[in-house]
Structure 1
Amino acid sequence: MAKYSILLFMLAVLSLIALGITMLASTTFEVAQEGSEDYVTLWRQLGWLAVASLACVIMAVVDYNVLLRWRWHILIVASVLLALCYVPMIGVKINGSRRWIGLQALGVGGFRVQPSEFAKIALIIALAGWYGTHQTLTRTFLRGFLLPGFMLLGVVALIGCEFDLGSALLASAVGLGVMFVAGSKMRYLAIIVLLCGGGLVAGIKFLPNRFERIMVTFDLEKHREDLGLQQWVSKLAFGSGGLEGRGLGEGRMKLSYLPEAHTDFIFPMVGEELGLRGTAAVVLAFAVLVMAGMVVSAYAPNRFGKLLGAGLTFLLGMEALLNMGVTTALLPNKGLPLPFVSYGGSSLVAAMVAVGILINIHRQGVHLTWDQLPVIRRKRRWTPQL
């Protein structure tokens, strides 16, 4: 079963990457026609894809248990990179968020990296390593909740201070997911939910623009010319595509009507050009990716591998779910990309690093039948032995 799971997993990943390159070529076609950029966005993404593929191969070959030994170093480096976003001449502020670091001081102003993409993976590695080495203390207050909770809140706070509430929310959800499957008590997890929720409310209070974005979701038509423009045009794109779609390259909303059509809002372009069938295929691909990833994680040879694989799978699935929720106007605009599909080097490299680690876990996986995988029952709660 694990063999077929990794094949399905890779099929889903490769299909999404192929779709992303195709849609990126389509959404940048008109710009290239005008001669202003000449497909530079597409070529950049292909360059990032080469880097991401190399990172994937490295992570697939190098024993993932090395990450267990270096987990604290990885988390510290990720935290330092997050802090560099506040340093003048290094941190880059775009659209009100200071979530990138660049090399302006060295005269390379066009090169930017988004540390939060890698910080989420570092957090998963740290939490998986913690619970993997403290298996018998998972349900205690100090080692099962308080110390890993501080790790989670520390990373979330650093991301949130960059005014990147979407990534902070995603990191919170993924961290809680790892703690849940590790077996941490539900009442302890509820405390973290309250703390993260309080931080989110505080962020909304001190950033009026974020509150307005939330309210816009409830009345898009009223705000269709200001804060609700992206989501309003996004809905029009889905409606315009119908069941069959207008045809590849024939979309109209990308013609300066929908901002960021090639990045966070590429999913509506899939809907307009490929129709409901295209969007359903994307949803199916992510569903297959998540289910296959969880099966691969269940067959990991040790607890660290199980938790690491589950966390990375949850990260990819949750990010896709949030992006789809935003682009269909079910959630406030958060600025999260669609993994493997949206334009963005940091997002693509981070996603392929996660893929490489999952391939590595599969390569070292144990071969048991599904009914041999252990399950722990604690009162009314069933928790996989991860």
Structure 2
Amino acid sequence: MTPRRQGVKLWKNNHEAIMTLVIILLIAGLFNVFSSTFVMAERDYGSPYAFLLRHAVSMILGLLLCYVGARVDYHKWRSLIMPVTVVLMACLLVVLLFTDPVNGARRWIPLPGFSFQPAEFAKLVSIMLAGYYISFRNGQGKEVNLFNRQLGVVGAMALLVYVEPDMGTACIVMGIPILMLVVGGLHFSKLKWLLLGGLILVGFMIYMQPYRLERLMVTYDPWPYAQDQGYQTVRSLMSIGSGGLFGMGIGQGLSKYDYLPEAHTDFAFAVFSQEMGFFVVLAILIVYMLFCRYAAAIAMQAQDMYGQMLAVGVLLLIGGQAVVNLIMVSGMIPVVGVPLPFISYGGTSLVMSLFAIGILVNISRQTTMIKEKELIREALRREPKLIRRTGPHLRRVK
């Protein structure tokens, strides 16, 4: 029999693929941040590069943390999760009790030269808490439960974020760990309580803030409300559609001229679509899909449950936010304030996302190293003379 021909591989391993795709998105984000902010930056700060420089600094800091996350064994984060959670909860309380509101919300802790948004790191900490709980129960040979202490802590963090108010981020902080429980083996019979609780929560939120029902109704037909509740959705759809197949060109779009609110943050995709056109947008969508494909491969190949759950959490964090942002900007769901990973402007969000990528890379690196050691052991078992032929370093493989 002839040996089976191997397909062409673009990358040597999954983490090389992940980093390549993230770098592509970071480069696209740099172009988009500058293009969507230079008018506002010139008007408000006297320099067209003000937002770009801040974004670049955040990207450099995020890449440094990405390097740390990639080099530090991901198991070590499990022992630090509780003190980190305590510090984060304290930061969330500081935001609510001791900071001044900006645009009606308390979300940032002002620091010299920049501001810090603790709610963004609550997303990653909630993933670590859920991964810790699921792996612990798996190690004991027990099923995961919907009601547990770790999820209770996650719920408390989500509540503090919701009160800021930041409902979109609160839903992510609470939603991803619940999805991780489902992936981690939550019994089907317990899902009914999850669905019931979700319906009750949605009803309560609409009762407390009736405008949310109006926003939901406007989503499915925003055009009659183009001057009030549907203004942002209509302007977003018009920006996306005006890009056509090839776009208006970098810096040539009209959305940045106070035409589309939050054009550089939550609605960055609309600006990108207007200036780059359908084909470039399609390429970026393919990059996100490839990211999800390789992140899923890392999760499936991870050597322990903790690694699997962390990888699933990062996949849901990056891929899930991308999906929510894209369908929000496209007018299919109400505006919820979720950024597009690596494309939208936002310092803390970018730093947190890159740190999460570093952890994902480390999970893949650990898996690759274990597989390589297994291959060497197998080769030595089959042909012991390899030790004499290939050098003494193989004797160190345990």
Instruction: Check if 1:68 corresponds to 2:78.
Output: yes
- How far apart, CA to CA, are the structure 2 residues paired with 1:138 and 1:291? 29
Q: Which moved more, 1:291-300 or 1:16-25?
A: 291-300
Residue number in structure 2 paired with 1:161: 163
Query: After superposition, where does 1:14-53 map in structure 2 within 5 Å?
Result: 14-31=23-40, 36-38=45-47, 39-53=49-63
Structure 1 letter corresponding to 2:294 = A
What amino acid sits opposite 1:264 in the alignment?
A: D
Query: Relative to structure 1, is the Cα distance of residues 159 and 78 closer, same or farther in structure 2, using a 3 angstrom cutoff?
Result: same
Provide the C-alpha distance between the structure 2 equivalents of 1:76 and 1:36, rounded to a whole number of angstroms: 37
Secondary structure at 2:110 match in 1: strand
| Counterpart secondary structure, 1:102 | strand
* RMSD, matched Cα: 2.2
1:110-259 equivalences under 5 Å are: 111-135=114-138, 140=143, 144-147=145-148, 148-259=150-261
Deviations 1:156-184, CA, capped at 9 Å, x for gaps: 22222222111122223311221112111
1:112 match: secondary structure: strand
Please tell me whether Structure 1 or Structure 2 has the larger radius of gyration of its CA atoms.
Answer: 2
Name the CA shift for 1:21/1:51 in 2 (closer, same or farther; >3 Å). same
Structure 2 residue 101 is matched with structure 1 residue 93? yes
Instruction: Report if aligned partners of 1:138, 1:184 keep a CA contact under 8 Å in 2.
Output: no
Partner of 2:390: none
SS at the partner of 1:246? Answer: coil
- Distance in 2 (CA, whole Å) between partners of 1:172 and 1:138 is 25
Deviates more, 1:325-334 or 1:70-79: 70-79
How far apart are residue 139 of structure 1 and its match? 5.4
Are the counterparts in 2 of residues 86 and 98 from structure 1 also a CA contact under 8 Å? yes
Shift of 1:32: 5.1
CA distance in 1, matches of 2:262, 2:356: 25
Query: Does the residue aligned with 1:343 lie in a helix, a strand or coil?
Result: coil
Cα distance in structure 1, aligned partners of 2:186 and 2:33: 42
Within 2, Cα distance between the matches of 1:285 and 1:199? 35
Q: Which moved more, 1:178-187 or 1:336-345?
A: 178-187
Report the counterpart of residue 326 of structure 2 in structure 1: 324
Which amino acid in 1 is paired with 2:80?
W
With over 3 angstroms needed to count, the CA separation of the structure-2 counterparts of 1:128 and 1:36, relative to structure 1, is closer
- Partners of 1:203 and 1:80 lie apart in 2 by 25
User: In 2, are the aligned partners of 1:137 and 1:144 still within 8 Å (CA)?
Assistant: no
SS at 2:367 equivalent: coil
- C-alpha contact 1:27 1:262 (8 A) present in aligned 2: yes
Aligned partner letter, 1:21: L
- Which structure's residues are more often strand, by fraction? 1
User: Is the contact between residue 233 and residue 331 of structure 2 (CA under 8 Å) also seen in structure 1?
Assistant: yes
SS state of the match for residue 77, structure 2? helix
Using a 3 Å threshold, how does the CA distance of structure 1 residues 37 and 69 change in structure 2: closer, same or farther?
Answer: same
Q: Are the counterparts in 1 of residues 184 and 309 from structure 2 also a CA contact under 8 Å?
A: yes
Q: In 2 relative to 1, CA 211–115 (structure 1 residues): closer, same or farther, beyond 3 Å? A: farther
Deviations 1:46-90 (A, max 9, x none): 1111111111111111111111111222222222222222113x3
Residues 15 and 365, structure 2, Cα contact 8 Å, conserved in 1: no
Structure 2 counterpart SS, 1:275:
helix
1:15-52 Cα distance to aligned partner (Å, 9 max, x none): 11100100111112334565843121111111111111
Residue of structure 1 in register with 2:376 after alignment: none
SS at 2:101 equivalent:
strand
TM-score, normalised relative to structure 2: 0.84
Aligned partner letter, 1:364: Q
Contact 1:139–1:185 (CA under 8 A) maintained in structure 2: no
In structure 1, C-alpha distance between the alignment counterparts of 2:42 and 2:108, rounded to whole Å = 30
Aligned to 1:375: none
Q: Give the number of aligned pairs.
A: 360
Counterparts of 2:15 and 2:361, CA distance in 1: 7
Give the direction of change, closer, same or farther, for the CA distance of 1:111–1:256 in structure 2 (3 Å limit). same
After TM superposition, the structure 1 stretch with the greater mean CA deviation from structure 2, 279-288 or 74-83, is 74-83
Provide closer, same or farther for how the CA distance between residues 188 and 74 of structure 1 changes in structure 2, counting only shifts above 3 A.
farther
Q: Does structure 1 conserve the Cα–Cα contact (< 8 Å) formed by 2:126 and 2:177?
A: yes
User: 2:180 is paired with a residue of what secondary structure?
Assistant: helix
Whether the aligned pair in 1 keeps the contact of 2:18 and 2:361 (CA below 8 Å) is no
User: What letter is aligned with 2:266?
Assistant: D
* Kept after mapping to 1: 8 A contact 2:236/2:260: yes
What amino acid does structure 2 have at the position aligned with 1:87?
L
Structure-1 separation of matches of 2:17 and 2:305: 23
Looking at structure 1, the residues matched to 102 and 199 of structure 2 have their Cα atoms a distance apart, in angstroms, of 25
After TM superposition, give the deviation of residue 124 of structure 1 in Å.
Answer: 0.7
Q: Distance in 1 between matches of 2:216 and 2:46?
A: 34
The unaligned stretches of length 5 or more in structure 1 are 370-386
Percent identical: 31
Q: TM-score, normalised by structure 1?
A: 0.87
- Contact 1:263–1:337 (CA under 8 A) maintained in structure 2: yes
**Alpha-carbon spacing, 1:198–1:100, altered in 2? closer, same or farther (3 Å):** farther
Query: Helix, strand or coil for the counterpart of 2:223?
Result: coil
